[in-house]
Amino acid sequence: MPPISQKFALYSHPSEMEPLLPGEHRLGPLLEQAHDLMRSGGRLAGMCQPEALRGLRSQLRAMHSYYSNKIEGQHTLPAEIEQALRNDYASDADKARRQRLALAHMATEASMEVHLPQWDWAAVWSPRMLQDIHQDLFARLPADDRRLSAQEDPLHPGQLRSQQVSVGRHAAPDAGKLPAFLQRWSQFYASTRRGELQVLAAAASHQRLAWIHPFRDGNGRVARLHTHLVLSHLGLTNGTWSLLRGFARSHDAYYAHLAAADEARAGDLDGRGSRTERGLEHWIAYVLGLCLDQVQFMTELLALEGMRERIAACLAYEEQVVRQGVRHEALRALHYLFATQGELERADFKAMLGLGDRLATAQVSALLKRGLLDSDSPYGRLRFGVPQHALRFYFPRLWPEAEVQ
């Protein structure tokens, strides 16, 4: 991060990042957006059996890590992420570093999902949570991967920055005052109690956390992971969508809206705080619009009436082009797993194939080998699998970069 310029004055008091939410007179349209998001998110959450979505969630974590790397200008191809998951890293040192970073993101996101039920609203908003996310993410990387340059010391996971920084036109708050800024950020957003207002808090807090810039590096990654955590805690994502995809697919708008909300108040009609109220309002509207787009997109993809045809197309490709033993007779059983059951005993799945025992056993093996079925053990119950190579059939346009490969 570049050193602070002398032309910038350091922020030293938390009041200098006000407002943390727009005033009451500006909240109406935003609360309507939040209400629509809560209603749409709830409808999406009830569309599929949780077990049927485990394979999808795994692919979504890979996609999120890909998009987070892309936002940071540290591009990693979907195939390279899949290779890293098999412990197959590139010979190029920089590519391997980006692969490790992608896997660290996936592991941190998975860890947050596991621990989510244990955390209350106050814990989610605590400064400690931000440091824990930073710690979890960067402690998974070797020291050399945490160096910003060959001349600098490695980044210390979970540690607040001790130096002054500027990002573009924004000089971040005085490093010595960071605890006060983070405490104000935490107390304000944790105090939101109304459902729709909590959604607005999730959006606004992302911008203000980026403005505080609490870490030497990794601030964008932590802010995005934390916003994902808050939306998940509110029961809006159910592991089926993420704002990260929306941010990455509107990359320029993401940074433009962040920067616009950094600006100082523009006169008496722009709120009463130090920062622009209008800019924060536009940022929140942008975030909620992205959320609604992502929910609508996933709702269309998870519609049961379309999934049967998409599974059939995948099986036809497997049978006629790949030719590794997958047969079209698997359609009814796979669709049943996805649509209703979530998991099946192997004997029950084989019975639905309508094949003899030997052919049914071979078919289960072929589906497992291709990732179209998933199981926790060699004889365990079967789940609907979503390998990366099937995304273009099952969930077209979800991750276009993976489809190309």
CATH of the domain at 354: 1.10.10
Q: Are 297 and 311 within one domain? A: no
Q: Are 197 and 337 within one domain? A: no
Q: Between these two residues, 296 and 340, which has the higher pLDDT value? A: 296
pLDDT of residue 3: 45
Over residues 353-373, the pLDDT tens digits come to: 999 999 999 999 999 999 999
What is the DSSP-derived secondary structure letter of residue 171?
E
Out of 74-83, 163-172, 216-225, give the one with best mean pLDDT.
216-225
- CA-to-CA distance for 7 and 167, rounded, in angstroms? 13
| CATH number of the domain residue 51 falls in | 1.10.3290.10
6: pLDDT strictly greater than 70: no
Q: Are 187 and 336 within one domain? A: no
Q: Are 334 and 249 within one domain? A: no
Last residue of a domain, one of 241, 275, 301: 301
Structural domain for 354, as ranges: 304-404
Q: Are 146 and 283 within one domain? A: yes
pLDDT of residue 268: 83
Q: Are 252 and 355 within one domain? A: no
Q: Are 320 and 171 within one domain? A: no
Q: What percent of the chain has pLDDT over 70?
A: 97
Q: Are 159 and 238 within one domain? A: yes
Q: Between these two residues, 194 and 229, which has the higher pLDDT value? A: 229
Long-range contacts of 23-30 (CB under 8 A, 24+ apart): 23/271, 23/272, 23/277, 26/277, 26/281, 27/197, 27/200, 29/285, 30/200, 30/281, 30/284, 30/285, 30/288
298: pLDDT strictly greater than 80: yes
89: pLDDT strictly greater than 70: yes
Q: Are 318 and 279 within one domain? A: no
Do the beta carbons of residue 302 and residue 343 sit within 8 Å?
no
CA-CA distances (angstroms) from residue 54 to 26, 49, 181, 239, 302? 40, 9, 38, 9, 14
Over residues 221-274, the pLDDT tens digits come to: 999 999 999 999 999 988 889 899 999 999 999 999 999 999 999 888 888 889
Last residue of a domain, one of 301, 331, 350: 301
Alpha helices of 19-158 — where are they, by DSSP H? Answer: 28-45, 54-71, 78-85, 93-115, 121-124, 127-138
Peptide bond preceding 19 in cis form (omega within 30 of 0): yes
Residue 25 covered by a domain = yes
- Based on the number of CB atoms within 10 Å of its own CB, is 158 exposed (0-12), middle (13-18) or buried (19 or more)? middle
Q: Are 155 and 205 within one domain? A: yes
Over residues 22-73, the pLDDT tens digits come to: 999 999 999 999 999 999 998 888 776 777 678 888 899 999 999 999 999 8
The band of 317, judged by pLDDT with boundaries at 50, 70 and 90, is: very high
Q: Are 295 and 308 within one domain? A: no
* Partners of 264 in beta bridges: 275
Nearby residues of 178 by Cβ (< 8 Å), 6 or more positions away:
160, 161, 212, 214
The band of 9, judged by pLDDT with boundaries at 50, 70 and 90, is: low
- CA-to-CA distance for 229 and 311, rounded, in angstroms? 31
pLDDT of residue 368: 97
Q: Are 275 and 316 within one domain? A: no
Side-chain half-sphere exposure of 309, counting CA atoms within 13 A: 6
Residue 6 covered by a domain = no
